[in-house]
Amino acid sequence: MVSNKQKVREDRCNHDTPTLPSQARLPINHCNLPAVILGSLTFHRHPAPLLIDGVLELHSDLFRRMHPCAQAQERADQFKDYMTVYFGLNAPDRIGLEARSRLPRPKADYLHMLRGWLFDSDGQEAAVLKGWVESRFGLLPRYHKGAIPDADAESYRVFMQERARGLYNTNALEAQLDLLYTYCQYELTRQYPDRSHIELFRGQNRVESQDLLWHKENRLILILNNLNSFTISRERADEFGDRVLKTDVPLARIFFFNGLLPGLLQGEDEYLVLGGVHELQICP
């Protein structure tokens, strides 16, 4: 049944031009497009490359090494080796992490964050990932252990506390995530050179309670959380909600997908997708 509030949204929202409201974004970020653009419906339909400041320039040697590699597995091996050496992931003492520290966290690296998300998308590691999205892309989290209506909410303070605890005594963790996203984008252009979108699915409960901008029949325009799980498997999505939504996700909004690092993570064809305004369809 359609609520009165939902009918108002249908009547008053121009579904051709929804942008990202100010309470869902920051005025500044660390990439080549502001959040008001990269989080908009126009970007969802007509995406452009997103470049985090300075990452390609700083790590140009890695991408030069990967360029002649014909196989995705070869490129993944190059990436993992580079991450281990550049960030000293196997030598915590070399990067100043002391074993006798009150909170020693030598294993709190990019892989630990990904595994944490797969285990609990509202956990401490997830707070770090959502905080990284906020910093780099200017997209504020909309949910973490509860709805976050704006940056003045108590739920936002709780989120920030978890984010800070997750980053404490780690080794350039957000810089590791910068490079992971940049590698993901590089790999997507190698695997899908002629595509701008990929069809993904998401299981969702209580669709009407989401940040709904427009709804008519089986079509929705939502503001999603700043980081979200999707899957390439329609059947898998059916296990995670009473409704299954599908959408053509811009490749530029994909932070990570399970095939990016074969054999390292046990997931179910999962894709981690940046938020903002998304246009979706309810599957029958």
Is the pLDDT assigned to residue 13 strictly greater than 80? no
Does residue 142 have a pLDDT over 50? yes
Range list of H helices, 102-207: 110-119, 124-137, 154-167, 173-191
User: CA-CA distance, 38 to 276, in Å (whole number)?
Assistant: 8
Binning pLDDT at 50, 70 and 90, where does residue 205 land? confident
CA distance 21 to 241: 26
pLDDT value at position 255?
A: 98
- pLDDT tens-digit readout, 224-272: 999 999 999 998 888 888 899 999 999 999 999 989 998 776 666 899 9
* 162-169-260 Cα angle (round to 5): 75
Q: How far apart (Å, rounded) are the C-alpha atoms in residues 54 and 197? A: 25
Check residues 6 and 137 and name the one with the higher pLDDT.
137
Q: Which residue has the higher pLDDT, 206 or 277?
A: 277
Q: Is the pLDDT of residue 27 over 90?
A: yes
The residues near 178 (Cβ < 8 Å, ≥ 6 apart) are 52, 55, 136
pLDDT band at 91 (very low <50, low <70, confident <90, very high): confident
CA distances (Å), 106 to each of 72, 88, 174, 251, in order? 28, 10, 15, 32
Handedness of CA 282, 3, 240, 173 (dihedral sign): positive
Q: Please check the confidence at residue 104 and state whether its pLDDT lies above 60.
A: no
* Residue whose tokens read 């404490």: 168
Q: What is the rounded CA–CA span in Å between residue 120 and residue 129?
A: 12
Name the more confident of 151 and 30.
Answer: 30
pLDDT for residue 16: 62
pLDDT at site 5:
42
pLDDT of residue 239: 87
Residue 141 has pLDDT above 50, yes or no: yes
- Output the average pLDDT for the chain: 89
pLDDT at 173: 95
164-173 mean pLDDT: 90
Q: What percent of the chain has pLDDT over 70?
A: 87
pTM, entire model: 0.90
The pLDDT of residue 263: 78
* Residue 28 near residue 148, CB atoms below 8 Å: no
Cα–Cα nearest to 242, from 209, 272, 212, 211? 209
Domain-wise residue ranges, the chain: 4-282
- Residue-level pLDDT at 155: 95
Q: How many whole angstroms from its chain centre is CA 10?
A: 28
CA atoms within 13 A on the CB side of 96: 5
Q: Are 215 and 6 in contact (CB under 8 A)?
A: yes
In this predicted structure, the answer to whether residue 12 has a pLDDT above a threshold of 50 is: no
